[in-house]
Amino acid sequence: MNKRQWLETLVGFDTTSRNSNLELIAALRDNLEQQGIKPWFAHNKEKTKANLFATLPATAGANAGATQGGIVLSGHTDVVPVDGQKWDTDPFKLVEKDGALYARGSCDMKGFIATAMALTPEFLAMPRTKPLHLAFSYDEEIGCIGAPAMLEEIVKRGIKVDGCVVGEPTSMNVVVAHKGINVFACKVHGKSAHSSLTPQGCNAIEYAARMICAIRDFADAYKANGPYDQFFDVPFTTMTTNQIRGGIAVNTIPELCEFTYEFRNLPGMTVADIQAQIDVYVRDVLLPKMKTEFADARIEIDNFAGSPALEAVEQAAITELVRALTGDRETRKVAYGTEAGLFQQIGIPTIVCGPGSIDNAHKPNEFVTLAQLDRCEQFLRKLGKSLETA
């Protein structure tokens, strides 16, 4: 299949993160096995989702058959929901219009996976002296939850890789850094009472609100005082509260309030140092106040998802290679997160470069242009050929 046919196939699977991706993974597996490639998988605990990793061994010279070294092409198979969005077409059916392909995931990021799969027969026919690897993950969109299981298996299997290209949408420009993302779930436990008897209760929503305001104060401080990195589109660390739930009735003091917050940190800033500010506020200010009203009041915080920041090394071979193949020498750093930081964390030099604009991701009528997919195809073909003399 060509890249358009592959993309049509891939977007036809509704791999919204709440769903299984196993049908899509099976389609990739079957195609690879037909070409003599035996992928392996790293599943979630429930066995309802899977990462796929496949190695196209070296094909030439003394290294023929080698599976160590080479380059990884990485992409995630899940997509964000379409709930509440107004689409002009079926989001899970590829539609071509005015030089663009519309569907959920066409840009973020099944276009990259489709292009890599379409080129696999060419890759296999190239006289490569180093292998090429495919790494396709699940649950990237809800905090990069899936990839760690695959990376753990890579380490366990002793697989050594020279570099990695994560094909998130960058308009085929080179991105050398992105922020880290960390998502926290907070549960504030108070005491219920009839709302006419407020001294007998401890209002979980009101104390959660104080904590949320404190998080906003910390965020405002980062905006006002830095640290800054002007290469980023948002040049400071951000913190936001994005979901909240609490209360059971208008006349009942709530005993529980739950909310989630996230921060997106600049490279070089540690998760522990940022979260420590919130922990100190809870321990020294908020919880003592709550306990004057209810001795058993408590606040639970769980860091349930996250991915480290990426800061690529300009002198790394993968950075120099991707810059040479694209002709892009600009320094670009982005506020959104990817799985690139996870690859870097296990010692694999990584860069981000893929088709489509991030401005089109996650929106209704998401699309990728045919021109972008063509540029991706040309880039990946050159990357494969670079392994002929690596």
Residue type, 4: R
Active site residue 78: yes
- Give phi and psi for 23, each to the nearest 5: -65, -40
- Where would I find the beta strands (DSSP E) of 234-297? 238-246, 252-253, 256-265
Q: Say whether 382 sits in a helix, a strand or coil.
A: helix
Q: Helices 3-11 and 111-125: crossing angle, nearest 10°?
A: 140
Tokens representing 65?
């058959």
Which of 288-296's residues contact partners 24+ apart within 8 Å by CB, and which partners?
289/207, 290/190, 290/202, 290/207, 293/190, 293/191, 293/199, 293/201, 293/202, 294/190, 294/191, 294/201, 294/202, 296/189, 296/191
Q: Which residues pair with 264 in a beta bridge?
A: 181, 238
Active site residue 206: no
Residue given tokens 């079957």 in the structure block: 30
Q: In what order do the strands lie in the sheet with 310-311?
A: 310-311, 177-178, 333-334
Catalytic-role residue among 140, 162, 168, 366: 140
Catalytic-role residue among 78, 108, 162, 255: 78
Q: Classify residue 217 as left (phi > 0), alpha (psi -120 to 50) or beta.
A: alpha
- Residues designated catalytic: 78, 140
